[in-house]
Structure 1
């Protein structure tokens, strides 16, 4: 693991612009932790970090086994999800389940998953200045400011039991409606 001498921003999603340099300009103790990419995917990011003069503040690592992801989310001060489209936002939920706030773009499922400022921040897509500003705000407030709300949100909305119950309720409702309409169908064995 990395030493805790810097504020760590766990970065997921598109990284093709200079948002790391914007963040570093205002928060020189920030470190971008980027994972999951192949060497070919990492090369352009390393070249960009070098051009921006922040190579020492960018840490790349391979994909993390699923049973170790909680360690990475828990070690970060904030998780950034600057995606252009996300149907649900599992990365945000996993981060919040570890008590780590999220700064994400207001797209797809992220708008619903991180829709409360107590959990972090939502920013417009394709706006690196807004993303950098939101990350600075969350870093300045500190992870502990968001921790309880993140944990409460996951417990209230994203547990397996809640989702299973919701799916069963939906299916039962569909079956009941079909029975009332006389279109109930029993599959053949």
Structure 2
């Protein structure tokens, strides 16, 4: 089997936490890698952002990343990428023709890639699978009041993909229901594939792992440590954590607490200094350290150094950070939204918080930080919970779905109702 994956707006090889790179990058690279190890040939098409990348990157056996030139290398924000959809689709088509490639299936990730996949499906006459990762209607429903809404144009493009894809792959049952509720999707053509985590890399380590991690990061050993890992944007909620920390310090000025915020600014409207400014404004700048985005092999040090990882997002289709933290033996305090109630076993591996008010988040953090025995119990249970999510299982399920779509011969020239996808 040969699969063309499309991840136009961000390369799976890009550092998560930088610009628009995040959990989706981890998902695409991890699933593609494990599919390749099953003998499936995977080419991931992405937009070239610098000439030094080269056109073809051989990641490992059966897995390549193809960098397609579409527009200038730099200076094109994600919001401007719709202007390059034609150039990108043309670049993919030209590459396929020049290299005489034949694919059995297209799998696109995110709505921009979906628009390209939809076009190429008709050109190649092969099945088209789409994963949204985030949806405009859902983001607008859950966004913070001060956050910029997603455009109606994006919502319309997503509706087109829901109507025309042969199969929609989602992370959770809740995401499947969102497609039905907000986009009138047909349930029969939605498949739930749970993401995984690299549980070999993200692990608790030995008995001195926390001590070593804190020494490496220069954190006092007796301090209680809260970590946030993700893009610095309102939707991810770093401001929620900062305000909650200020509330905790107000309650107990002598609290021995440190906060690590690891990530980079994301989006045109994001001021890279706004979260540092907020910490200064609230008087907690000495408690909070901002770290640049780090590769996975360094992120594990942050997870191990923390007593708890906070995931205050306004919505997450799943929440890979929550799973990675638990795999590393660290409990999680997360928002009760999207797929996070699945990623976190409430009361067993962490706590879930209703809403995003600073007092509610301070209450939850205070509860878990002050209960050493309960927190340590959660840490042990977190490792076992995270072990139930694996990328190999995700790839196995995807491979089965791919084969079903191919066997059903659901192509533009045939009967798309075979998967219940007819309207």
TM-score (norm 1): 0.82
Task: Give the structure 1 partner of residue 218 of structure 2.
Answer: 2
Aligned residues: 180
**CA contact 1:7–1:31 (8 Å) conserved in 2:** yes
User: What SS does the corresponding residue of 1:86 show, helix, strand or coil?
Assistant: coil
User: What SS does the corresponding residue of 1:117 show, helix, strand or coil?
Assistant: coil
Deviations 1:90-126 (A, max 9, x none): 0101100101000000111112111432111111122
Task: Give the structure 2 partner of residue 92 of structure 1.
Answer: 322
Gaps of 5+ in 1: none
Task: Give the structure 2 partner of residue 16 of structure 1.
Answer: 239
Deviations 1:121-156 (A, max 9, x none): 111122221111111111122342211210111112
Deviations 1:60-83 (A, max 9, x none): 111112221111101100000100
Question: Larger % of helix: which?
Answer: 1
Task: Give the structure 1 partner of residue 208 of structure 2.
Answer: none
Matched, 1:31 2:221: no
Which of 57-66 and 137-146 deviates more?
137-146
Task: Give the structure 1 partner of residue 344 of structure 2.
Answer: 114
Deviations 1:34-68 (A, max 9, x none): 11124x74522222222222221111111112221
User: What SS does the corresponding residue of 2:316 show, helix, strand or coil?
Assistant: coil
TM-score (norm 2): 0.39
User: What SS does the corresponding residue of 2:286 show, helix, strand or coil?
Assistant: helix
How far apart are 1:175 and its partner, in Å?
Answer: 6.7
Task: Give the structure 1 partner of residue 124 of structure 2.
Answer: none
* Distance of aligned partners of 1:26 and 1:159 in 2 relative to their CA distance in 1, 3 Å threshold: farther
User: What SS does the corresponding residue of 1:11 show, helix, strand or coil?
Assistant: strand
Deviations 1:165-185 (A, max 9, x none): 333454566678x49xxx799
1:55 to 276, 282, 285: 285
Counterpart Cα distance in 1 of 2:315 and 2:394: 22
Matched, 1:159 2:390: yes
**After superposition, where does 1:37-76 map in structure 2 within 5 Å?**
37-38=264-265, 41-76=271-306
Give the aligned CA root-mean-square deviation in angstroms: 2.6
Counterpart Cα distance in 1 of 2:288 and 2:352: 23
**CA contact 1:42–1:60 (8 Å) conserved in 2:** no
How far apart are 1:23 and its partner, in Å?
Answer: 2.3
Counterpart Cα distance in 2 of 1:47 and 1:170: 48
